[in-house]
Amino acid sequence: MRRVITFLDWKAIWWKEQGNARSELSADLADGVSAYAAKQAHVYSALARSFGDKWYPVLLANGLSVEWPRSYIPITAVVAADHDSDMEYE
C-alpha cells in the first residue's frame, strides 16, 4: 500500500513538472500541454488520496503503521490525531 501511494505521489509530481518542459511550442499548444499535465497530476493525486481514504482505517484497525506522505492520510484522521496529541498535554 505504501509503495502504491508513494508511486502515485511521485507520478503526480512528475506530471506537474512536465507542464513547462517544452519551450519550443506555440503559446496555445504550450497552454494545452500545461493543462493536460495539470489534469494528469490531479488524477494521480486524487487516486492516491482515494486509496489513502480507504486503506488508512484498515491499517489502523489492524495495528499497522502508516508510512506514506501525510497529505494522503484522511483529513478526519489527521484532525483526530492532532486533537488526541493536544489532549495529552492538557
In tens, the pLDDT along 42-66 reads: 999 999 999 999 999 999 899 988 8
45-54: long-range contacts, CB 8 A cutoff, minimum separation 24: 45/8, 45/9, 45/12, 47/8, 48/4, 48/5, 48/8, 48/9, 48/12, 48/72, 51/1, 51/4, 51/5, 51/8, 52/5
What is the value of pTM for the model shown? 0.75
Residue positions counted in the chain: 90
Q: Is the CB of residue 82 less than 8 Å from the CB of residue 43?
A: no
CA 25 centroid distance within chain: 29
Q: In this model, does residue 78 exceed pLDDT 60? A: no
Q: Which residue has the higher pLDDT, 89 or 22?
A: 22
For residue 21, what is the DSSP state?
A: -
Task: Provide the domain count of the chain.
Answer: 1
Average pLDDT of the chain to the nearest whole number? 84
Q: In this model, does residue 37 exceed pLDDT 90? A: yes
What domain range includes position 68?
2-89
Q: Which residue has the higher pLDDT, 90 or 7?
A: 7
Q: pLDDT confidence of 73, banded at 50, 70, 90?
A: confident
